[in-house]
Amino acid sequence: MSMFAEERQRLVANRVAEAGRVSVTELADRFSVTTETVRRDLAALETAGVLRRVHGGAVPAGRGATSEESLLERQVQNLLEKRAIADAAAALVASSRAGSVLLDAGSSTEALAERLMGPLPDGQGLVVVTNALPIAEKLAANPNLNVQLLGGRIRPLTQAAVGQATVDAVGRLRPDLAFVGANGLHAEFGLSTPDTEEAAVKAAFVRSARRVVALVDHTKFGVEALVQFARLDQLDAIVTDVAPTGDMADALAEAGVEVVEAGRP
């Protein structure tokens, strides 16, 4: 069966991220397409900032503390891990019987939004508040949800509302659960992100919710982006694909943060 270009490009991006460097011929063999098709895929992914083309193949795009992926780029990274994390996060929503949820902008929270499109247990009603245009648009199609979109200036890179108006609006809320994403989770620096305005909104989410859950895959462990938006002791739980070890595990335990490992009983 043939594969849609978008799906193939996501798998190509995952392969580059995992291997560090891939060749055009390897990708052509893996996906049973021509080398010309692979080159077109690599060109599209390079334009999106996902990778960098080199002679005969591609390598991951370089990153720094102030660099930031586009929404498309984040969507194609670690797809299986994010889906598992989203499943575990959705189970937390159901088991906690939450009546209101805050969803941060990001690819992990968008994956969770997809899970919330399904039926909730026993007709559970849910108010979902978000600053993310793609999440609001997705959830608005479910008539069983009360979806509220926070206002503010929209950042094109992440399609998220930011600014003082957004922060003030969050400050007037007291939701049961807040799910936040992050570019980094560090034992000493806590949760961080590259952009100051997005960090301010994330920090407001953390302050407002009764229970705060971070959705972070293992690639975020030990990473320090430019702006801290939460200390570890401000979190109630993290949902991740692989349980942290060493200093990271010790710091989470000392801060009283529950670690929910996706895909594990």
56-68 average pLDDT score: 64
Between 6 and 84, the higher pLDDT residue: 84
Query: What number is the average pLDDT over the span 179-185?
Result: 94
More confident residue, 53 or 227: 227
Confidence check: pLDDT of 227 > 50? yes
pLDDT digits (tens, 9 = 90+) for 154-179: 998 889 999 999 999 999 999 999 99
Pick 203 or 78 by higher pLDDT: 203
For position 66, what pLDDT does the model report?
Answer: 45
Q: What is the largest CA-CA distance in the chain?
A: 56
Average pLDDT over residues 197-223: 94
The predicted pLDDT at position 67 comes to 46
On whether the CB atoms of residues 69 and 75 are closer than 8 A, the answer is: no
Q: What is the mean pLDDT of residues 251-264?
A: 92
The pLDDT assigned to 48 comes to: 82
Strands, sheet with 227-230, edge to edge from the N-terminal-most edge strand: 184-186, 190-193, 227-230
pLDDT at 73 over 70: no
- The H-assigned helical ranges of the chain are 5-19, 24-31, 35-47, 71-75, 79-96, 107-115, 133-139, 164-171, 196-208, 246-254
Higher pLDDT, 21 or 187: 187
d(C-alpha 140, C-alpha 129), whole Å: 11
Q: Token pair of 190, please?
A: 């806590």
For the whole model, what pTM was predicted?
A: 0.72
Quick one: pLDDT at residue 121? Answer: 58
Candidate from 81-90, 125-134, 216-225 with smallest mean pLDDT = 216-225
As a whole-number percent, the residues of the chain with pLDDT over 70 amount to: 89
With a cut of 60, say whether residue 81 has pLDDT above it: yes
Q: What is the pLDDT of residue 76?
A: 46
What pLDDT does residue 64 have?
A: 45
* 3-class DSSP state of 15: helix
What average pLDDT does the segment 175-198 reach?
A: 94
